[in-house]
Amino acid sequence: MSGLRARTGLHTLLGLLAALGLLAAMVMPAAAASVTPTPITDDNNPSCAELGYTNEVKFDPPGNGTKDGVTITNYVQSSSDAAGSFDWSSTFGIDAVIVKAGDDKHNVYVYSPESMGDTGLQPQSGSGNGISHISFCSDNLTQVSAAAASVTAPTCDTAGALNVPADTDSIDYEVSPAYAAGNTGTFTVTATAKEGFVLVGTASWTLEVLPQLTGDACAESATAAAASATAPSCSAAGGLVVPADTASVHYSVSPAYAAGASGTFTVTATAKAGFVLSGPSSWTLTVAPKLTGGNCEGTLAGNPTPTPAPSGSLPNTAMDVASGSLPILLAIVAIAALAILGRQNIKEMLNRR
């Protein structure tokens, strides 16, 4: 009987111990799975594509922030006292994370989906070589390219304009600082991939929007008429011919000129407001004084600038006839004929004697 009681007590004790063990298993938390990276040798510096994945979201240099659906938080650079670490999350499935460390980016660790978890990735022990590059690899993204932002050149009527592509199903565009039509200055347009997409190619543009054109850039072209000088005569000095002002051109003379003056004068053409000159705009001219001396002696009315006859030339008999000398010439011829006839008659009378 005593043996039966002993066995019964032992069974009771074992059952109690089993119950306590089960309760402890239910209450105590399971041990956290360790994050064990798969090291890659320095000679193999892989990208996501080289590991067999179609897409890559790269943080270079790394730090807190969101890029193409992947967010890094609690980023801590490694030092001589502590390992580098960061937390991350993603809006899509990640197949692998490549962490590179050191200035040469060759201390590489690859985390597989089974080992990496979502937090506390530690690529190395504290060695002073900070995390230099983090890539998130995925086969679950669609690659898209952003349309480029651009600017329109200003005109004489309007300022330039910033052209921001419209948002699409895969890409959002943001402008900093905020832009509205008519604004000028420097703006940055940034494209961001929406969930399920990853950007390839250029994703940011910094552009300058210029103000409306003014001044010479908007002036209408005008051409100045040339100034000139007329020749002097025996009755008047030469003259300075200055074009009259027009709607587009003003003319000035230096020194001041008045009719009859002689000397050297400079005529300058200046464009009026809203115009710009093309071609010559200044003329320096000499105005000669009135002719005098031998060139003007014997000047006839109506011929103020006679041309002297060449030395040794015959008189202009045509001019003499035209001026009334013909009757005188005829009278002289008649007198000479009468004289000859008289001498002939005298000779004949003497011979008769």
**pLDDT of 22:** 39
pLDDT single digits (tens) 34-79: 344 555 444 456 788 888 888 888 888 888 988 877 888 888 877 6
Which region, left, alpha or beta, applies to residue 69 given φ > 0 means left and ψ of -120 to 50 means alpha? left
Residues 75 and 106 in one domain: yes
Residues 150 and 125 in one domain: no
**pLDDT of 62:** 83
pLDDT single digits (tens) 217-231: 888 889 999 999 999
**pLDDT of 125:** 44
Can you give the pTM of this predicted structure?
0.43
Per-residue pLDDT of the chain (353 residues; tens, 9 = 90+): 444 444 445 445 445 444 444 333 333 333 333 344 555 444 456 788 888 888 888 888 888 988 877 888 888 877 666 667 788 888 778 888 888 876 555 667 777 656 665 544 555 444 445 777 888 888 887 888 999 999 999 998 899 999 999 999 999 999 999 999 999 999 999 999 887 788 888 999 999 999 999 887 888 889 999 999 999 999 899 999 999 999 999 999 999 999 999 999 999 999 998 888 989 999 999 999 999 887 786 554 444 544 444 444 444 444 444 445 555 656 676 676 666 666 666 566 666 65
Task: Return the percentage of the chain with pLDDT > 90, whole number.
Answer: 34
- Please state, as a whole number, how many other Cβ atoms lie within 10 Å of the Cβ of residue 13: 10
- Would residue 273 count as lying in a domain? yes
Residues 163 and 178 in one domain: yes
Helix (H) or strand (E) holding 135: strand 131-138
- Would residue 342 count as lying in a domain? no
Taking the chain, what is the end-to-end CA distance rounded to the nearest angstrom?
Answer: 236
Residues 185 and 164 in one domain: yes
User: Mean pLDDT of all residues in the chain?
Assistant: 75
Segments forming the whole domain that contains residue 115: 38-140
Residues 6+ apart with CB under 8 A from 86: 62, 72, 73, 74, 75, 76, 121, 131, 134
**pLDDT of 31:** 32
Tally the domains of the chain. 3
Look at residues 99, 117, 140 and tell me which one is the last residue of a structural domain: 140
Residues 198 and 248 in one domain: no
Ordered DSSP codes for 293-339: GGGGTTPPTT-SS--PPPTTPPP-HHHHHHTT-HHHHHHHHHHHHHH
pLDDT single digits (tens) 191-207: 998 877 888 889 999 99
- Would residue 332 count as lying in a domain? no
**pLDDT of 175:** 98
**pLDDT of 319:** 43
- Would residue 232 count as lying in a domain? yes
- Would residue 21 count as lying in a domain? no
Look at residues 209, 240, 257 and tell me which one is the last residue of a structural domain: 209
**pLDDT of 88:** 84
Residues 49 and 128 in one domain: yes
Residues 170 and 258 in one domain: no
Q: 3-state DSSP call for residue 25?
A: helix
Residues 200 and 224 in one domain: no
- Would residue 55 count as lying in a domain? yes
